[in-house]
Amino acid sequence: MDSQFNRHRRLRRTANMRNLVRETHLHVEDFIYPIFVAEGQDIKKEIPSMPGIYNLSLDHLTEEMDEVVSLGIQSVLLFGVPLEKDACGTQAYHEHGIVQEATRLIKEKYPEILVVADTCLCEYTDHGHCGLIENGEILNDASLELLVQTAISQAKAGADIIAPSNMMDGFTIAIREGLDEAGFEHIPVMSYAVKYASAFYGPFRDAAGSTPQFGDRKSYQMDPANRLEAMREAESDLMEGADFLIVKPGMPYLDIVRDVKNNINLPLVTYNVSGEYSMVKAAAQNGWIDEERIVLEMLTGMKRAGSDLIITYHAKDAAKWMNSHK
């Protein structure tokens, strides 16, 4: 046959043939599952815009962790919902802050589980910004000191990975040096290196009560229109000693994921954020989409784009579906 075209379909003919040539695979170990730990007693409050995701007090954390562990998920990312907020986010770096206490509890009961601590002030400040404020402006360098204290207190509580999400300049090197000086040179930094000022964080801010009380985050988070700037941010974090880089959000930014993956040789983490989750859930609840297929396709797309790991609220559902197909 002197055919004029290629027979691509040969490799798609049967399920096993397709399995044989599949290039991208999702693994449950790829997932980092975010959990909102709330200060107080007997709290299990579903976040209205994030069906299936809860604010949980410590007395409900064990049942959540039992499920996470039984599904084979090995990493969780902790966010705190404190009872008290103030101008300098004291509860972020308090020895008995909610994330510190949750970390101790998880590491005691599930020592093998990796606890990733989100290092930011916005859940703990009364103004809702990620740094200190003076005359309506964010104080970059003064905020770094508090972020370093936060990271050290999280490491002291047993966090396995520090994940700073605040987008102050220099946070990676400041935290790296602070951890080293405090004896935590073995604790990696998973930097939110490339974090856009995104409307997709809306539901998260409902969950964490961290909506800025004035202004927005555009002076520290990135302009969604920029691509080259993402490389500058990623290069800075590489030089400053990051061990992992996060790109955030996920789905609308997979070009950035690929750029970073092609240019920087560090494990790359994509954050499939709250708004992405909410959109899928809303459509699924309306019966408009096939949730399982949509979610697994999205997560596969993130890996194909270059993600090594994915922070996702879909982790438990995806793990259930993946385990049932084994």
Helix axes 98-109, 58-70, angle to 10 degrees: 50
Applying CB under 6 A, the site for ligand PBG has a residue count of: 10
**CB nearer ligand PBG, residue 62 or residue 283:** 283
**CB nearer ligand PBG, residue 57 or residue 210:** 210
Among 49, 75, 165, 312, indicate the residue that binds ligand PBG (CB under 6 A): 165
Q: Which of these, 131, 64, 128, 73, lies nearest to 102 by C-alpha position?
A: 64
**CB nearer ligand PBG, residue 62 or residue 279:** 279
* Token output for 57: 């007090």
* Token output for 181: 């000086």
Q: Judged by CB under 6 A, which stretch of 13-21, 86-94, 133-141, 199-207 contacts ligand PBG?
A: 199-207
271 forms beta bridges with: 311
The DSSP code sequence of 241-269 is T-SEEEEESSGGGHHHHHHHHHH--S-EE
Report the nearest approach of ligand PBG to the CB of residue 257 (Å): 16
Q: Is 85 a catalytic residue?
A: no
Is the Cβ–Cβ distance between 40 and 57 less than 8 Å?
yes
**CB nearer ligand PBG, residue 93 or residue 201:** 201
Contact between 302 and ligand PBG per CB under 6 A: no
Contact between 118 and ligand PBG per CB under 6 A: yes
User: What is the C-alpha separation between 226 and 277, in angstroms, rounded?
Assistant: 23
Among 88, 117, 120, 309, indicate the residue that binds ligand PBG (CB under 6 A): 120
Among 91, 103, 191, 274, indicate the residue that binds ligand PBG (CB under 6 A): 274
Q: Judged by CB under 6 A, which stretch of 25-33, 148-156, 200-208, 280-288 contacts ligand PBG?
A: 200-208
Q: Residue 34: is the preceding peptide bond cis (ω within 30°)?
A: no
Is the Cβ–Cβ distance between 280 and 298 less than 8 Å?
yes
**CB nearer ligand PBG, residue 274 or residue 307:** 274
Q: Judged by CB under 6 A, which stretch of 3-11, 39-47, 91-99, 197-205 contacts ligand PBG?
A: 197-205
Is the Cβ–Cβ distance between 128 and 68 less than 8 Å?
no
Q: Which of these, 252, 236, 139, lies nearest to 193 by C-alpha position?
A: 236
Contact between 205 and ligand PBG per CB under 6 A: yes
Among 31, 93, 124, 201, indicate the residue that binds ligand PBG (CB under 6 A): 201
Helix axes 58-70, 315-324, angle to 10 degrees: 30
Helix axes 228-239, 254-263, angle to 10 degrees: 40
Residues that bind ligand PBG (CB under 6 A): 118, 120, 122, 130, 165, 201, 204-205, 273-274
Residue positions annotated with a catalytic role: 195, 248
